[in-house]
A and B are shown apart, each in its own frame.
Chain A
Amino acid sequence: MRTATRVLKYELHNVLRSKAVLVYTVLLFLLTDVLFRFGGDGARVVISLLNVVLLLVPLVSVVFGTMYVYAAREFTELLLAQPVSRGSLFAGLYLGLALPLAGAFLAGVGLPFAIHARPDAALWGPLAMLLTAGLLLTLVFTAVAMLLATRFDDRAKGLGGAILIWVACAVLYDGLILLLITMLRNYPLERPVLALTLLNPIDLGRVLLLLQFDTAALMGYTGAVFEKFFGTSTGRMAVLGVLLVQATVPLLLASRVFRRKDF
């Protein structure tokens, strides 16, 4: 692990100085700031940010992440020629990618809240959930980026895969669920739909935020499944847990590929 933290230290130096991360931070900051200036109160800003977090964070994480890992390819080879284990180098690489992106997100969104939002106890829950969702989505989609860039030596394939996965998770997946629901409307679909939702990290992030804003609507659903699931803090914990699993699985796969790979 000491090697991992040494790698991480310099990766952080490098990534934090990259223009892309700076642009990302500034973009999020300006967006949030503008929402405050035009939209008014914190709760409304959180809602307006919902789709930004659910779309932009995964897109930047997976695309920037993939490009970053490819760009670091030769240097990774040089590092692997040093007396370090592949496992710790992998850990350093991932954290060196995920932490700056997560930090950029937290700073870009969090700072405007610190500046503009009036201290309001009712805001902390939604804001905390927004930041948590963004953080977890960053971890998930940087892990996916690691997997893609490690698995495919062909950069076009990896980058194409990144964009494909983003489009699938952000848009197509929900369309398919809706199609399924409409086509099979005579069947009890609550459980399958709930299960399908749990498979897509972007949907999970959305559900976390729904639990903050739209419990009133969710509780209106007569199928007891949603109500039982969403009505409890266990449901919320489960969603957070599944998101962590979704970050861990691609990361473990990527780590496995990385350890066995021929560079």
Chain B
Amino acid sequence: MTTARLASRLVGGLLLAAPALAAQSSVVVDPAGPVRTVSEALGRVTPGGRITIRAGVYTEPVIRVAIPVTIIGDSGAVFTGGDHEIFLVTADNVTLRGLTLRGGEHSFMEDRAAVRFDSVANCVIEDSRLEGTFFGIYLARSRGCRVSRNVVRGSAAVEMTSGNAIHLFHSSDITIDGNRVAGHRDGIYLEFAERARVFDNESTDNLRYGLHFMFSHECEYGNNRFERNGAGVAVMYTRHVYMHGNTFGDNWGPSAYGLLLKEIRDSRIIGNIFRQNTVGIYLEGSARNEVLGNTFEGNGWAVRVLANAEGNTFAGNTFRRNAFDVATNSRSNVSTFRENYWDRYEGYDLDRDGYGDVPYHPVRLFSLLVAQNEPALILLRSFFVDMLDAAERVMPVLTPQLLQDERPLMREPA
């Protein structure tokens, strides 16, 4: 008998105060018995074994998973929480699959999660449903784990009393894919999470951010949808981010952004769609980022660049039906716009090389007026304002002349 097994049996035995039985590689938990709780099953299963949960509603104290094990719920296997976490995983190589976790009171004292992985490696949680939990899936100090195809639905109404759906803290090489999260404070939250791969997720209708990360370098985000989140997506204090093929949509509000970049450096944002956001991309203190081949459609402001953002490149993007294409608070410009398609461009292409022969100035006089006098926004699309803009184009006085696209595309890039 290994020490681990002995320990687990001891733990199980202590918890259940039940006689120790012979360890099995496969244990079935069933409301009708003989094994009625997961905690009991954990005391009986061999490390690396499997626990199968039959349909039923289970209400247990914190289920502490301290041995490598695979726990699989049959359809209808439901765990309810309360004033404590449901699963606390502290062993490597633990897999949770097909579970339904329901309920969990909010706490001001701790980030109480339905499932917490703490200081583990190679953990998996997949194909599970979390409904109305405070924090959903929480990984702390873990590495090489995978969070796949889970549905995490909250019913958050107030930021103060809501938690995040998927939360990573000081973790590395985590894969988050195919999840659908909604109704939390933040949909996906990463803090000090490096080399995470976030793919094919849907994060919608969260109170604050669909995706929120800081100090999480070298992460990749692909083909996710972030929609109708209170403040959109905000990412901060991070280097070497790669975002591609994501959709940022319908994030409305005075401080809502399709994508807010704060102190983001050396990152690539490629082939994403920004649709119907109050602000498509917002850059603050961010440098040397490449924004390539994205589509900005129907946003209030497609791109907002603050003066302290330097050396960013916008190329090959499509700008369609935005109220404002680019806004900035600076007369000088330190970002580069080239070879984008602008639906407002009225220039010509005499040499037929596909690029307009006169530069496009994406900053309108009206956007400066609105920046200084917000109520002027009500005059959007008015004939008078169009005349002002036309006059400014002919004789520029106020708009930054350096901010221009020298070679605007005549047609939308394929």
Instruction: Mark A residues whose CB is within 8 Å of B.
Output: 43-44, 47, 50-51, 54-55, 170-172, 174-175, 177-178, 181-182, 185, 189-190, 193-194, 197, 203, 206-207, 209-210, 213-223, 226-227
Q: State in angstroms the CA–CA spacing of A174 and B375 once bound together.
A: 12
Q: For residues 232 through 273 of chain B, which have their beta carbon under 8 Å from a beta carbon of chain A?
A: 250, 252-254, 256
Can you list, as one digit per residue, whether each of B379-395 has a CB less than 8 Å from chain A (1) or not (0)? 11111111110000000
List 18 additional contacts besides A210-B380, A216-B276; criterion CB under 8 Å. A43-B321, A174-B384, A175-B384, A178-B369, A181-B376, A182-B369, A190-B375, A193-B375, A214-B300, A214-B381, A216-B250, A216-B300, A217-B278, A217-B377, A219-B252, A220-B278, A221-B377, A226-B375
B376 touches A220 (CB 8 A): no
Q: Does B224 contact A (CB under 8 A)?
A: no
Query: Measured between alpha carbons, how far is A189 from B250 in the docked complex, in Å?
Result: 28
Within 8 A of A (CB), among B264-289: 276-279
Residue pair B323, A217 in contact (C-beta under 8 Å): yes
Given the complex of chains A and B, what is the CA–CA distance between A207 and B372 in angstroms?
Answer: 21
Taking CB atoms, residues of chain A closer than 8 Å to B279 are: 220
* A223 CA to B369 CA, complexed, in Å: 16
Q: Which residues of A contact B343 (CB under 8 A)?
A: 44
Bound: A32/B379 CA distance, A: 24
Question: Which of B252, B298, B375 is the most central at the interface, judged by chain A CB atoms within 10 Å of its CB?
Answer: B375
Given the interface pairs A217-B278, A219-B253, A219-B300, the reply to whether A193 lies near B378 with Cβ below 8 Å is yes
The answer to the question of B324 belonging to the interface, with a C-beta cut-off of 8 Å to chain A, is: yes
**Which of A54, A210, A220, A226 lies at the interface centre, i.e. has the most chain B CB atoms within 10 A of its CB?**
A220
A212 to chain B, nearest CB (A): 10
Residues of B within 8 A of A (CB): 250, 252-254, 256, 276-279, 298-301, 320-321, 323-324, 343, 369, 372-388
Shortest Cβ distance from B366 into A: residue: A178
Q: Which of B252, B279, B299, B343 has the most CB of A within 10 A?
A: B252
* Shortest beta-carbon distance from A244 to chain B in Å: 21
Of all chain B residues, the one with the shortest Cβ separation from A190 is: B375
Contact status of A221 and B374, CB under 8 A, knowing A214-B300, A227-B254 = yes
Residues in B whose Cβ lies below 8 Å from that of A209 = 381
Chain B residues near A222: list those with CB within 8 A.
254, 374
* A216, B323: Cβ atoms closer than 8 Å: yes
Contact B298 A213 (CB under 8 A): yes
Q: Distance (Å) between the CB of A238 and the closest chain B CB?
A: 15
Residues from chain A with a CB closer than 8 A to the CB of B383 are: 51, 54-55, 170-171, 174
A-B contacts, 30 listed (Cβ < 8 Å): A43-B321, A51-B381, A51-B383, A170-B383, A171-B383, A172-B384, A174-B384, A177-B378, A178-B379, A182-B373, A185-B372, A194-B378, A207-B378, A209-B381, A210-B380, A213-B321, A214-B380, A214-B381, A216-B252, A216-B277, A216-B299, A216-B300, A217-B300, A219-B254, A219-B278, A220-B253, A220-B279, A220-B301, A221-B254, A226-B375
Which residues of B sit under 8 angstroms from A174, Cβ to Cβ? 379, 382-385
- The residue of chain A having its C-beta at the shortest distance from the C-beta of B252 within the complex is A219
> Which residue on chain B has the smallest CB distance to residue A189?
B375
6 closest pairs, A vs B, by CB? Answer: A217-B300, A217-B323, A174-B384, A220-B278, A219-B252, A216-B300
CB distance from A49 to the nearest CB of B (A): 12
Q: Per a CB cutoff under 8 Å, which of B300, B376, B384 touches A218?
A: B300
Q: How far is the CA of A17 from the CA of B4 in the complex (A)?
A: 97
Looking at B300, B372, B377, the one whose CB has the most chain A CB atoms below 10 A away is B377
- Please tell me if the beta carbons of A217 and B375 are within 8 angstroms of each other in the complex: no
Contacts of B250 in A (CB 8 A): 216
Q: Contact between A216 and B378 (Cβ–Cβ < 8 Å)?
A: no
Q: In the bound complex, what is the Cα–Cα distance between A35 and B279 (angstroms)?
A: 28
Q: Are A219 and B379 in touch, CB under 8 angstroms?
A: no
A177–B277 CA distance with the chains assembled, in angstroms: 27
Docked-complex contact B376 and A210, CB < 8 angstroms: no
Q: How far is the CA of A182 from the CA of B398 in the complex (A)?
A: 15
A172 vs B382: C-alpha distance when bound (angstroms):
11
Q: How far is the CB of A55 from chain B (nearest CB, A)?
A: 6
Contacting A217 at CB < 8 Å: which of B324, B369, B373, B382?
B324
Closest CB in chain B relative to A160 CB, distance in Å: 21
* Complex CA distance for A171 and B253, rounded to whole angstroms: 30
Give the chain B neighbours of A170 by CB distance below 8 A.
Answer: 383
Q: Which residues of A contact B321 (CB under 8 A)?
A: 43-44, 47, 213
CB atoms of B300 and A177 under 8 A apart: no
> Given A43-B321, A193-B375, A223-B374 in contact, is the A217-B254 Cβ separation under 8 Å?
no
Which of A44, A51, A219, A223 makes the CB contact (< 8 A) with B375? A223
CB-defined contacts of B253 to chain A, threshold 8 Å: 219-220
Q: In whole angstroms, how far apart are the Cα atoms of A138 and B320 in the complex?
A: 30
Docked-complex contact B300 and A220, CB < 8 angstroms: yes
Given A178, A185, A194, A216, which contacts B278 in the complex, CB threshold below 8 Å?
A216
Which A residues are in CB contact (< 8 Å) with B381? 50-51, 206, 209-210, 213-214
Chain B residues with CB under 8 Å of A193's CB are 375, 378
CB proximity of B347 to chain A, nearest CB, Å: 16
> Given the complex, which residues of A lie within 8 Å of B379, measured CB to CB?
174, 177-178
Chain B nearest CB from A182 CB (Å) reads: 6
For residue B377, which residues in chain A have a CB less than 8 angstroms away from its CB?
217-218, 220-221, 226
Most chain A CB within a 10 A radius of its CB, from B252, B298, B378, B385: B378
Least distance between A223 CB and chain B CB atoms (Å): 6
B297: nearest chain-A partner, CB-CB? A43
